[in-house]
């Protein structure tokens, strides 16, 4: 069977189809032979490998059969290779499978979700199946998830989340002939069952507390009534915004961000010793001991680095919230590391992009990466039973 795909002829047929009004999909659609060729090329590779590995049993090819397949691009007749002893069990299309609409889409979306660019996907398909596919076709396939994304963005949320982490990433987008920076706001939460969940992603021109207010309003509109603890960086006005929308929430500023900001003011020679003294502040078991560690560090370094301690005093009320809780709770609330870890997962699949063609292009890739992250997060976070007991102690009247 000749599995070589004639891309030149396919391109001509595509142009002719558009001019004549012939459908691109369906029984007579021009894209249907493309899917047929992909599957038959893959089956050919499978049968050749199978015959090779079963050669000791004197197995060999035994012609091919035919069956009608239904796909998202239309129906077609597929030639299915057979072997003499009947041991061939194809993986591309199983013996009893007659529908491949979701499978084909998932294969393309899977490659895209792993961070492959259109050219990467084209190269992969060219090497694996010896055929070409256009940017437009790949874009059409990946665009099919946009309604699913919109539904996901507007899905109802739980009424109570014990912990939220909120932070933003930044990407370059081509817009109106220029490359512009966009902030992608993310909200990562833990449910009362201890499972991590991305509650939403939002686009803004830059990170600001005013835009975070729109995000918080969206969370309330989707059903969130209460948040016990919110972990954030010290963006000006961010904590006030959270407390306006969720007055009972304990806002915890990230200690790691606070340490990084402090480090900016230190000389290299003093950095290690200053960081050691500052670390003693949030390692203290009580707020009183933390204040004593802050006073000791300020006595030692305050004249040389006054800006460091001005910041600690300014943000102390929200830095010190962690002292109210047990070590188990402190461990997951003193830093925004969980959402930064999530961001690293996202950047692994977006780092190859110098600039995205549109917000939708970012949205598709980030959404697919989130679905992969949810698969990895299957199950409760570490020591959740103990943390849940602590939450029951501190927030019993607010747990529904």
Tokens of 326: 């047990």
Residue 281 or residue 105, greater confidence: 281
- Using DSSP, state whether 56 is helix, strand or coil: helix
206 DSSP assignment: S
Residue 153 in any domain: the answer is: no
For residues 193 and 320, membership in a common domain is answered with yes
What gap in Å lies between CA 251 and CA 256, rounded to an integer?
15
| % of the chain beyond a pLDDT of 90 | 41
User: What value does the mean pLDDT take over residues 124-150?
Assistant: 67
Of the three residues 118, 144, 170, the one that is the final residue of a domain is 144
Residue 380 in any domain: the answer is: yes
Q: What tens digit of pLDDT does each residue of 46-63 get?
A: 898 889 888 888 899 999
For residues 73 and 168, membership in a common domain is answered with no
Domain count across the chain? 2
User: What value does the mean pLDDT take over residues 219-248?
Assistant: 95
For residues 213 and 137, membership in a common domain is answered with no
For residues 179 and 326, membership in a common domain is answered with yes
For residues 340 and 373, membership in a common domain is answered with yes
Burial 265-286 (b: 16+ CB within 10 A, else e): bbeeeeeeebeebbebbbebee
Q: What tens digit of pLDDT does each residue of 286-318 get?
A: 999 999 999 999 999 999 999 999 999 999 999
Residue 373 in any domain: the answer is: yes
57: phi then psi, degrees, rounded to nearest 5: -95, 10
Longest Cα pair distance anywhere in the chain, in angstroms?
Answer: 87
What gap in Å lies between CA 168 and CA 184, rounded to an integer?
5
Residue 1 in any domain: the answer is: no
Query: Mind giving me the DSSP string for 61-112?
Result: EEEEEEEEEEETTEEEEEEEEEETTS----SSS-TT--B-HHHHHHHHHHHH
For residues 14 and 101, membership in a common domain is answered with yes
Confidence at residue 2, expressed as pLDDT on a 0 to 100 scale: 46
Confidence at residue 376, expressed as pLDDT on a 0 to 100 scale: 76
Tokens of 32: 């249907």
Confidence at residue 136, expressed as pLDDT on a 0 to 100 scale: 63
Residue 222 or residue 182, greater confidence: 222
Residue 274 in any domain: the answer is: yes
Residue 150 in any domain: the answer is: no
pLDDT at 10 over 80: no
pLDDT at 399 over 60: yes
For residues 212 and 180, membership in a common domain is answered with yes
Q: Could you list the residue range(s) of the whole structural domain that residue 66 is in?
A: 7-144
Of the three residues 87, 118, 144, the one that is the final residue of a domain is 144
Q: What tens digit of pLDDT does each residue of 353-391 get?
A: 777 888 888 888 888 888 877 777 777 888 899 999 999
For residues 49 and 123, membership in a common domain is answered with yes
99-108, 150-159, 233-242, range with the lowest pLDDT:
99-108
Confidence at residue 4, expressed as pLDDT on a 0 to 100 scale: 47
For residues 224 and 330, membership in a common domain is answered with yes
User: What value does the mean pLDDT take over residues 192-216?
Assistant: 91
Beta bridge partners of 20: none
What gap in Å lies between CA 350 and CA 65, rounded to an integer?
43
For residues 171 and 55, membership in a common domain is answered with no
Q: What is the mean pLDDT of the chain?
A: 83
User: What value does the mean pLDDT take over residues 172-178?
Assistant: 85
Residue 289 in any domain: the answer is: yes
Of the three residues 94, 115, 144, the one that is the final residue of a domain is 144
Confidence at residue 8, expressed as pLDDT on a 0 to 100 scale: 54
pLDDT at 27 over 80: no
User: What value does the mean pLDDT take over residues 187-194?
Assistant: 93
For residues 71 and 185, membership in a common domain is answered with no
| % of the chain beyond a pLDDT of 70 | 79
For residues 66 and 164, membership in a common domain is answered with no
pLDDT at 323 over 90: yes
């Amino acid at each position: 069977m000749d599995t070589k795909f004639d891309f030149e002829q396919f391109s001509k047929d595509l142009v002719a189809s558009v001019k004549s009004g012939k459908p691109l999909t369906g029984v007579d659609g021009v894209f249907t032979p493309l899917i047929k060729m992909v599957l038959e090329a893959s089956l050919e590779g499978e049968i050749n490998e199978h015959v090779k590995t079963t050669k000791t049993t004197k197995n060999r090819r035994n012609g091919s059969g035919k069956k009608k397949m239904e796909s998202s691009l239309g129906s077609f007749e597929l030639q299915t290779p057979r072997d003499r002893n009947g041991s061939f069990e194809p993986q591309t299309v199983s013996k009893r499978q007659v529908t491949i609409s979701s499978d084909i889409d998932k294969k393309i979306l899977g490659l895209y979700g792993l961070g492959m660019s259109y050219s990467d996907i084209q190269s992969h398909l060219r090497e694996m199946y010896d055929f070409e596919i256009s940017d437009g076709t790949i874009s059409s396939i990946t665009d099919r998830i946009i309604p699913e994304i919109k539904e996901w963005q507007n899905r109802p949320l739980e009424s109570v989340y014990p912990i939220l982490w909120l932070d933003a990433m930044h990407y370059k987008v081509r817009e109106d002939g220029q490359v512009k920076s966009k902030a992608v706001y993310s909200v990562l939460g833990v449910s009362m069952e201890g499972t991590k969940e991305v509650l939403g992603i939002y686009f803004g021109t830059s990170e600001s507390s005013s835009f975070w207010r729109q995000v918080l309003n969206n969370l309330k509109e989707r059903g969130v009534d209460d948040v016990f603890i919110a972990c954030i960086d010290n963006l000006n006005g961010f904590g006030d915004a959270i407390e306006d929308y969720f007055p009972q929430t304990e806002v915890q500023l990230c200690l790691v961000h606070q340490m990084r900001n402090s480090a900016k003011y230190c000389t290299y020679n003093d950095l290690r010793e200053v960081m050691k003294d500052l670390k003693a502040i949030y390692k203290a078991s009580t707020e009183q001991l933390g204040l004593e560690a802050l006073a000791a560090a300020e006595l030692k370094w305050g004249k040389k680095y006054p800006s460091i301690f001005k910041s600690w005093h300014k943000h102390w009320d929200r830095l010190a919230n962690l002292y109210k809780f047990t070590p188990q709770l402190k461990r997951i609330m003193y830093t925004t590391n969980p959402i930064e870890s999530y961001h690293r997962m996202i950047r692994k699949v977006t780092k190859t992009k110098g600039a995205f063609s549109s917000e939708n292009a970012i949205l598709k890739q980030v959404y697919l990466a989130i679905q992969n992250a949810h698969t990895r997060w299957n199950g409760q976070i570490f020591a959740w039973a103990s943390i849940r007991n602590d939450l029951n102690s501190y927030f019993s009247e607010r747990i529904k």
